[in-house]
Amino acid sequence: MKKIILHRPKSIEKYYDETKYRIFINDQFVAKLKRKENIEFEVEGDTVDIQAKYAYWGSRKETIKLTDDLTEIDVARNQKAPYTNSPGLYLPIAVLLFTFIPNLLGWSNIWVKALIAVTLIAFIWYIIQYHIINRYEWILIKKRE
Query: What are the two backbone dihedrals, phi and then psi, of residue 62, each rounded to the nearest 5 degrees?
Result: -100, 130
CA-CA distance, 101 to 113, in Å (whole number)? 12
CA-angle at 100, arms to 96 and 101, nearest 5°: 105
Q: Is the pLDDT at 35 greater than 70, yes or no?
A: yes
Strands 47-54 and 139-143: unpaired
Q: Is the pLDDT at 29 greater than 90, yes or no?
A: yes
Q: State the pTM of this model.
A: 0.73
Q: Pick 26 or 82 by higher pLDDT.
A: 26
* Mean pLDDT in residue range 77-98: 65
Work out the pLDDT band at 134, boundaries 50, 70, 90.
Answer: confident
Work out the pLDDT band at 83, boundaries 50, 70, 90.
Answer: low
* Mean pLDDT in residue range 112-140: 81
Work out the pLDDT band at 130, boundaries 50, 70, 90.
Answer: confident
User: What is the domain class of 2-81+136-143 according to CATH?
Assistant: mainly beta
Strands 70-77 and 21-25: unpaired
Neighbours of 12 (CB within 10 A): 15
Max CA separation in the chain (angstroms): 73
What separation in angstroms does the CA of 21 have from each of 54, 67, 84, 86, 134?
5, 24, 19, 23, 17
pLDDT in tens, 8-23: 988 877 777 788 999 9
Q: Is the pLDDT at 7 greater than 80, yes or no?
A: yes
Q: Is the pLDDT at 125 greater than 90, yes or no?
A: no
- In the chain, domain spans: 2-81+136-143, 90-132
